[in-house]
């Protein structure tokens, strides 16, 4: 099983765009999710492949860990839920509402499903997303790894249909965190930000 969540701050020519820490954190956690094959790690719970129909609905970020450049006090910020829906073209779409000073801003990302593998999706040309359920259809583990400016950035999250994963699911996530050489002690339970109503929930 393997993974990738995440996008970063981007700069425009001649001028840097400032991105709020919450937006950066959300992107790092959710935009690019790659779930690679992990051959040497045995989970307590069985893994299940993902299809679009099984993925639809609201999800919460119940745990996460990583090494992106986020200030320590911001790492514990509550995170909004996100949803997967089918858009007008029948494609999978990621949606999340982010609270910003000017109000609630909706973030949308189309996800193209790979023909040969129903559990693999793509955001933009080169960002592959592979999502796998763990212990049923209510929780999944996601992981992102990329080299940005000669720095290896890693991010993993436990996403759930609710905020209370079973203890064995949490233990499996902790094992995975250590497997990808992140620290178990750095796992964060971010809590839930309900300041913005989620669009497209129905």
Residues 112-150: tens digit of each pLDDT: 877 776 667 777 656 666 677 899 999 998 777 666 677
pLDDT band at 76 (very low <50, low <70, confident <90, very high): confident
Q: Which of 62-71, 98-107, 115-124 is predicted with the least confidence, judged by mean pLDDT?
A: 115-124
Domain 11-186 has CATH 2.40.128.20: yes
Q: Is 189 a residue whose pLDDT tops 90?
A: yes
CB 111 within 8 A of CB 121: yes
Cα separation, 46 vs 90, in Å, equals 29
Task: Copy the structure tokens of residue 44.
Answer: 């307590």
| pTM for this model (two decimals) | 0.75
**What single DSSP character describes residue 19?**
-
Chain position carrying tokens 């929930």: 201
Higher pLDDT, 100 or 14: 100
pLDDT band at 198 (very low <50, low <70, confident <90, very high): low
* Helices of type H across 40-180: 52-55, 72-75, 167-179
**What single DSSP character describes residue 96?**
E
What confidence score (pLDDT) does residue 165 get?
A: 95
Cα separation, 111 vs 36, in Å, equals 17
Q: What are the boundaries of each domain within the chain?
A: 11-186
List, in order, residues 6 or more apart from 157 with CB less than 8 Å away: 5, 29, 30, 61, 62, 63, 64, 65, 141, 142, 143
């Amino acid at each position: 099983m393997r993974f990738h969540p995440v996008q970063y701050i981007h700069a425009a020519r001649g001028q840097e765009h400032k991105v709020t820490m919450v937006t950066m954190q959300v992107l790092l956690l959710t935009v690019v999710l790659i779930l690679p094959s992990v051959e040497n790690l045995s989970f307590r719970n069985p893994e299940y492949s993902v299809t679009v129909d099984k993925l639809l609905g609201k999800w919460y970020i119940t745990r996460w860990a990583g090494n992106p450049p986020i200030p320590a006090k911001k790492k514990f910020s509550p995170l909004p839920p996100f949803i997967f829906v089918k858009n007008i073209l029948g494609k999978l779409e990621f949606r999340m509402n982010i609270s910003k000073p000017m109000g609630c801003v909706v973030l949308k990302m189309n996800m193209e499903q790979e023909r040969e593998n129903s559990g693999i999706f793509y955001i933009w040309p080169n960002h592959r997303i592979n999502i796998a359920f763990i212990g049923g259809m209510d929780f999944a583990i996601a992981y992102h790894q990329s080299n940005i400016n000669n720095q290896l950035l890693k991010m993993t999250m436990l996403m759930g249909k609710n905020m209370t994963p079973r203890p064995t699911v949490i233990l499996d996530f902790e094992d995975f965190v250590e497997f990808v050489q992140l620290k178990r002690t750095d796992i964060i339970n971010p809590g839930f930000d309900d300041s913005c109503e989620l669009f497209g929930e129905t």
